Structure 1
Amino acid sequence: MNKILSANKMEPFFTKSELDLFKKWESKPYEKENEEHRRIARELKESVWHKTKYLGRRIIEQLPGFILEDNQNWIQRDNTSRKDKRAGGSAFKPYTWVKVYRGSGKERDIFFTFGIEVGEDRGQRHNDFVYKLDYRTTSSSDLNIKQQAICKSFIEGLDVHWNKIPLKELIEENWDSLIETCLRFVRQSMPLYDGLSAMLWPEGARIPLEEGRRPTGYHEFPVRESNFKAVAIDYQAKDRVQKELGEAGEQLVIDYEKKILIEANRKEQADQVRKVPDGVGYDILSFDIDGNPRYIEVKTTLGDCNTPFYLSYNETAFMNLDKEHYFIYRIYNYDKINRRGKFYIVSGDVQSQILMKPINYMVVLKRTESAQDEPTD
């Protein structure tokens, strides 16, 4: 009896013994009249194939708008297994891929692939869990020759084309860590996915970070009155939410900057775009197409474009050091579910374009005339 795929039931993780069995039988002929072959097929379907499909279900749970294609057959044609080439034959497939794509009819032909791959392919030996951005080249594809050429040129050569976890390392993982790796890959690759979609179907382009309206601003800082009412604040939860929001916005900007550079044939510079360590005065180091640095501070909000943002003393000091190469990306209307937002940029002499008001103070005691010097504790 087939197992019921349910993302609510935690399946046992991949084991060494079932992966070894999969490797042993990859690409070997399958004869349905052979009892051993039927037994092996049953074991593989109920282990590596079933678990790969389970993984796919878990992934799309956290990717609204995406669809799982998990109907691949576990056998493939094998014309080398019989003397009579016309008769053909069947063999155990050397991969367990499932495909995840956005729920648009046309976009089914570009997708994220996840699964185990073993054996030899294009002169390379594989024993890995593979995750990648790919496109459909089979007869069922609706991509024409020109579109397939665009996919090949766009995807191959990028680090989204082939990512892997060796099987000996996979068995040290668990569902949580593997699912997180796959989700992080999808989210980080979405600008490329959207860019490819826009190239293939320009009328339906999707941009995860869309340049929006810059607010008209204020002549003076809006009045803020204190009401001195007691409130219960979970500061740890508030800090955690703000940290997650900040990191999400930073990733959007990294992806956006990389996309611009890649489209300008500046892949080497795109590879250098990165989050910098805390404390240096900005968030993202990027580059323009001439190779000049772009020091980017990212401020993200769920609110609209008029929502105030905050700058630390260190950030304020840095923004005046190199005005020509300093930028604030203000992301607003951030959509946590679809990980999208709008943004505007403040650059150049930022200090002259903003109003600031202190809301916290660093405090030390004032020295008085009668104070005596005493040792400090």
Structure 2
Amino acid sequence: MRTQVAIIGSGPAGLLLGQLLTNTGVDNVILERATREHVLSRIRAGVLEEGTTAMLQEAGAGSRMRAEGLPHDGFDLAFDGRRHRVDLHGLTGKRVMVYGQTEVTRDLMEKRARSGGRSIYEAVNVRPHGFDTDRPHVTYQKGGREHRIDCDFIAGCDGYHGVARRSVPQGAIEIFERAFPFGWLGIIADVPPVGPELVYANHPRGFALCSMRSHTRSRYYVQVPIEEKIEDWPDERFWDELRRRLPKATAEAVTTGPSVEKSIAPIRSFVAEPLRFGRLFLAGDAGHIVPPTGAKGLNLAASDVRYLFDALHEFYTEKSQAGLDAYSRRALARVWKAERFSWWMTNTLHRFPDHGGFGQKIQHAELDYLFSSRAALTALAENYVGLPY
């Protein structure tokens, strides 16, 4: 088989890149090791920046998001038993959209199917080859047979555990990472959310977050030690712990119910440099991970796709490699700003075992300063709604 761009990974990054390329006549094939149903079973966050929603519209996959997504003009930060609102729209003129990543993936899959794009699911032992030459190709196995796709470029959109980054020679890549000493215990429940906007809580018992997927489905999190086991957290214990960490009026407004999904996610920061290796490009979680506190994971994948799509479009329409040569530098500049913001949010809102009383006083001073300084609050809002591409 021959294509122009071989895309490894059928998550939001791979699907969005594939659809933008398809829309402009650039042939591409998506390879995914899992089934379509498994990809759609992955439950992830869903706070979208305006740049991300604009790209979904550009891809032709934004109609259901516009109809069902929840635009948010702000969010609340709770500490010292009180809630303080961050007026995103008033401070920046922008807002965010709450729309689950699973729904983004579903919309992009359906758009690709309507467009006749080629996606190969259950492609095992996918391997990129020759990306340090001008004749790269990808091999995979399906149906007991070995297959080969010759291409011009390979896009590694296959996540943190994917094969794309692992195929790069060790000496050609530098890794920067930090693992935090806690995780997020999260549940989804078919109950109305506690309020119309998200609530982030700093509490002596640890961080908590009240989020949502719709007017009838809620997503809640509490910080737990990284060694915690999910079986030790029945629903009743979770709801009790969540309410302890919220201001009294907010806790009383929580509607409880049986969990639909429950998991513990480790919190880490991770960046691989560079993001280009000859004709192999990394995008999304294949190249970087951010703590979810700043709501940047999916949005960084989208900004990578913005830069990579523009570079590939320039290559095929103008025969210029300038965008491809600049891809890693441009993408990483935005990645590191998002890493900084996510690190700041995580450090400001969570309890750290080794910070002690001094660290808690610093957190309190930071939060108190935020709501006494419009400049500080504006900086928070600018980062939360998304820095420009």
Structure showing greater relative contact order (alpha-carbon pairs closer than 8 Å, 6 or more residues apart): 2
Give the alignment's TM-score, normalised by structure 2: 0.23
Q: TM-score normalised to the size of structure 1?
A: 0.24
Answer with 1 or 2: which has the greater Rg.
1
Structure with greater helix percent: 2
Structure with bigger strand share is 2
